[in-house]
Chain A
Amino acid sequence: MSDVQDIRSIIEEQIETLRRRNKEPEWVTKMRYRGLKAFLTAPHNDPVLSNPLEFVVGHKEKFPEVKTLEDLPPEMRALLDRLGIAEVEKKYVAGLAVQSDTNIVLNEFLKSWGARGLEVLSMEDAVKKYPALKDKFMSLFSPEESKLAAYHTAIWNGGVFLRVKKGLKIPMPLHLFFLIQNSAMAQAPHIMILAEEGSEIHLIEGCTSPILVRHSLHLDMSEIFVGDGAKVKLSVIQNWPEYVHTRPMTRAKIGKNAEFINTTVGLGTGKSNIASPKYWVDEGGYVELNGIILGQKNYHVDLGGEMLLRGRGSRGLNATKSVIMDRATVITRGLIRAQAPSTRGHISCDALLMGPDARMETYPGLISEVDDAELSHEAAIGKIREEELFYLMSRGLREEEATQLIVKGFLDPMLKDIPMEFVVEIKKIIEMAVGGGM
């Protein structure tokens, strides 16, 4: 496997398979080959995956094609039921799109919003429909920056293109679930959100489908363009099985007076989860990265987050709350760069250590390139306070019940942007995790 020629021909074959399957424009295939070239030379500095080559080979299993929600495999349906999505769906409270390979299954709700200017396409269809995407696609990343970015560029498959027309405000969250079955490569969906001037949208991504996916590496990439005055919320709920390594790559450009709230809830973070999202914020813009991390077993979670406050008066907030159990390690490294006058940034990191072997590291970074920026950070790492536990237990609650209450309470302020049906499910998962560990 270590032979460069072998790697080159394996990736090349994967690219050709995708080219034929997708009948994609030439610029897309060219971009893939640029990714292949970069893969061979780009640096690789992942602390967990020492050899990226071992993930290049995929599997050959075939699953039946999914065209409607009815065709979903039972595991996926059960999961949607568990998350209360089936109920929500029935009530038409929110939109649900399920991504299955190159098909997007839309419900009636989404179709009705489609007429008013909400466009949801599979990424494969989007690059065919809009030649102009050539200038946007991979514009926030460079394949040369790392082997994983290069590999994503070469073999990206699946993903969603979402465009919200100027001024369109969508009042309820849109749910998106990934179901990628038949691709012979690593799971590498590419997501692009174009929120035009003054528009508003909240997208909830459920990253799961553990049983279907045999891959051990998940390499998704998201490029988000928040137009002037637009408001975008992106909530990602990760519930990965323990054999998966995930490397979500997220970057966003936030326009003048625009707002981007990026919440990531790592319930099942997988064997290792390393992310370093990056945000560019223009004049008067605001970005928020909220991380909720449940570290279990021997998982390794590393959440960065770089904010470039490059417009006057722009603001950034990076807040994480971690609950760490067993032998898990959680690292946070927020970085805020104040590059323009009157900018403000704050990093906060709170962690509850649930056992003697749980480990937390935090490296806040504040860089001011101007003289009137306000930058601050705070961190609080500790275990559950004995006095709080005693107070609750004295009222008759068992240690486990009191602990669950305290842990849920610790995370509660971070769940403000997550719809109730997810909060209920998230709290159930936390209860199970905490209940077993104490």
Chain B
Amino acid sequence: MNELLTIENLHVAVNGNKEIISGLNLRIGESEFHVVMGPNGSGKSTLALTLMGHPRYRITHGRILFMGEEIASLTPNERGRRGIFMAFQQPKVVDGVRIKDYLTLLLTKVKGMDPLKTGKIIRKTLREVWFSEDILGRYINEGFSGGEKKRFEILQALLLKPKLLILDEPDSGVDIDSLSLISSKLRKMHGEGIAVLLITHYGRILQHVDPRILHVHILREGRIVMSGQEELVERIEQEGFRKIFEECGCNE
């Protein structure tokens, strides 16, 4: 299995010098499905945002390789064009920007698609995630419900077809039906060879995913303290993080 993402001894600071990620190591091979779980404040979102290149998160040590290339100095758009996609935990409202114009721009500028061919693909894909064509005239994320926001993130991932799909809590603030849809879209994209890095608190988002393929990691204070397979998800749901940390002696 070829390595897609390699994170070596990563240290990340925010707001000056406050360290959030402290010596994190993670390897994701092509088409693998990784789940990162951890209590609040353990650095999950920081990991996602750092991988995407958010300007407020500063790498103080270590390195990140994507397809063998060091990406720390790349801008977010350069990372996006290389095939990294992050579905935001809290997708941003971009006022006044119509979804039709936005998606068309993504397909033409980022994917190099013929502008005449974009309409059909956009219309087909938006139906897949339960949007009607009315959405095309609306502004990005404006007045969207929690479920709509998360489904709109999935819509963009479906259109852009990344190599690595990072999802930051795609299950937070989502209705049951949207959750099920997102889960089945995850299975579909993974089935098409997209590697997944899923950040979550709960196992429910995995309902449609084959449990045998999962690589599960537990994050605590900016470090992966335990890795395993699907049974780890169940243990966390039943016992909670506190008990696991006590048993593994991770509370030092």
Interface of A toward B, CB cutoff 8 Å: 385-388, 390-399, 401-402, 405-406, 408-413
- Residue on A nearest B95 in the bound complex, by CB: A409
- Residue on A nearest B52 in the bound complex, by CB: A394
B97 touches A395 (CB 8 A): no
Residue contacts A-B, CB under 8 angstroms, 17 given = A386-B56, A388-B94, A390-B54, A390-B76, A392-B94, A394-B52, A394-B76, A394-B77, A395-B156, A395-B160, A396-B109, A405-B105, A408-B96, A408-B97, A409-B97, A409-B139, A412-B97
B80 touches A396 (CB 8 A): yes
Sort A-B residue pairs by CB-CB distance and give the 5 closest, nearest first.
Answer: A409-B96, A396-B110, A396-B80, A409-B97, A412-B96
Contact mask B54-89 → A, CB, 8 Å, 1/0? 111000000000000000000111011100011010
Contact mask B178-205 → A, CB, 8 Å, 1/0? 0000000000000000000000000000
Interface assignment of B130: CB less than 8 Å from any CB of chain A: no
Cα of A94 to Cα of B221 in the assembled complex, Å: 66
Interface of B toward A, CB cutoff 8 Å: 52-56, 75-77, 79-81, 85-86, 88, 91-98, 101-102, 105-106, 109-110, 139-140, 156, 160
- Residue on A nearest B141 in the bound complex, by CB: A391
Cα of A394 to Cα of B91 in the assembled complex, Å: 12
B110 touches A397 (CB 8 A): yes
The majority secondary structure among interface residues of chain B is mixed
Nearest-Cβ distance from residue A426 to partner chain B, whole angstroms:
13
- Which residues does chain A contribute within 8 Å of B101, judged by CB atoms? 405
B76 touches A393 (CB 8 A): yes
B96 touches A397 (CB 8 A): no
Nearest-Cβ distance from residue B74 to partner chain A, whole angstroms:
11
A397 touches B105 (CB 8 A): yes
- Which residues does chain A contribute within 8 Å of B93, judged by CB atoms? 388
B91 touches A391 (CB 8 A): yes
Cα of A342 to Cα of B79 in the assembled complex, Å: 57
B94 touches A405 (CB 8 A): yes
Pick the contact of A412: B75, B98, B109 (CB < 8 A): B98
B80 touches A395 (CB 8 A): yes
Cα of A81 to Cα of B69 in the assembled complex, Å: 48
- Which residues does chain B contribute within 8 Å of A397, judged by CB atoms? 77, 80, 105-106, 109-110
Nearest-Cβ distance from residue A391 to partner chain B, whole angstroms:
4
- Which residues does chain A contribute within 8 Å of B56, judged by CB atoms? 386
B96 touches A396 (CB 8 A): no
Cα of A387 to Cα of B90 in the assembled complex, Å: 11
A393 touches B77 (CB 8 A): yes
